[in-house]
Chains A and B, each alone.
Chain A
Amino acid sequence: MVMLLSTWSREQQIRLAWEENLLRAEMPHFQFNNRATFGNTTVNGSYTSTANNSYSLAVWLKAGFPHQAPGLYVTSPMPLYGHNGRAIQSYGTSHFMHVWESDWNTYVKICHWRDDNWSASYTIVSVIMKGLLWLEALEAHRRTGRKIDSYSLTY
């Protein structure tokens, strides 16, 4: 039997509070949204790349967080274009591009950790850090045509 809960559990609330404090210290330009909404909390912010292009990122904390990996999305620009003007969304799930088929508003969903490699010990800040690397890799891909997995998202 699957038990459905309508609110974040006490343990999850403690964890979210810790994550929010860490985010405030490390990346204060990213903000929690819908903090009290079970399974629908997001962390949103923007990033200007080393080539001076602006992007918006969102981390979606689903009901199983922290044991379930959060989703990491590029919410702007939309659509998001890669080499030769091909939309990244058109790749669907692609190992070479480090993306999953989108499950939210057709936003590009970045593969930060595979579900079987995800650990509840990983922080939201570390997920966003992978997002910054993916965006830098996207820009290198645009310039060179090389696939995004030519550039490491691991640090």
Chain B
Amino acid sequence: MASDHNSEQVQRWMEDVAKQKVPQTKLIFDRETKSLISVPIGDQKNGDKVLEFTPQEATRFASIRSTLHLPGTTS
């Protein structure tokens, strides 16, 4: 669900990261509502229903390739 507050919080997160400040919130993508949401850093709710924006997410493939023996591991 869209809200002005959430929109502002998402924008602030993106500004803070661009300025290399430590963000006060984290970004998650809620798979059920298909929406981007800013939540407090420590929020653990719906952990299995959301996709979190973390550096580890971008490189998920690298983290599992050794166990799955999948191609495409170098750039």
Q: Are the C-beta atoms of A126 and B60 separated by less than 8 Å? A: yes
Which residues 4-57 of A sit at the B interface, judged by CB distance below 8 A? 11-12, 14-15, 18, 22, 26-29, 47-52
Distance, CA A4 to CA B25, complexed state (A)? 48
Task: Please count the residue pairs between chain A and chain B whose beta carbons lie under 8 angstroms apart in the complex.
Answer: 115
Distance, CA A74 to CA B46, complexed state (A)? 29
Q: Are the C-beta atoms of B10 and A136 separated by less than 8 Å? A: yes
Contact with A along B28-40 (1 / 0, CB 8 A): 0101001111000
Question: Does residue B71 face the partner (Cβ distance < 8 Å to A)?
Answer: yes
Residue numbers in B under 8 Å from A137 (CB-CB): 14
Distance, CA A52 to CA B36, complexed state (A)? 11
Q: Are the C-beta atoms of B18 and A149 separated by less than 8 Å? A: yes
Contact of B74 (CB < 8 Å), options: A47, A120, A125, A153: A120
Q: Are the C-beta atoms of B72 and A120 separated by less than 8 Å? A: yes
Q: Are the C-beta atoms of A123 and B18 separated by less than 8 Å? A: no
Q: Are the C-beta atoms of A122 and B34 separated by less than 8 Å? A: no
Q: Are the C-beta atoms of A121 and B18 separated by less than 8 Å? A: no
Residue numbers in A under 8 Å from B75 (CB-CB): 67, 118-121
Residues of B in contact with A (beta carbons under 8 Å apart):
2-3, 6-7, 10-11, 14-18, 27, 29, 31, 34-37, 51, 53-55, 57-62, 65, 68, 70-75
Between A and B, 28 residue pairs with Cβ closer than 8 Å are A18-B61, A18-B70, A26-B29, A49-B2, A50-B2, A50-B6, A50-B7, A50-B10, A50-B35, A51-B2, A66-B72, A67-B72, A118-B75, A119-B59, A120-B75, A121-B61, A121-B62, A121-B73, A121-B75, A122-B61, A123-B61, A129-B53, A136-B7, A139-B7, A150-B15, A150-B18, A151-B18, A155-B58
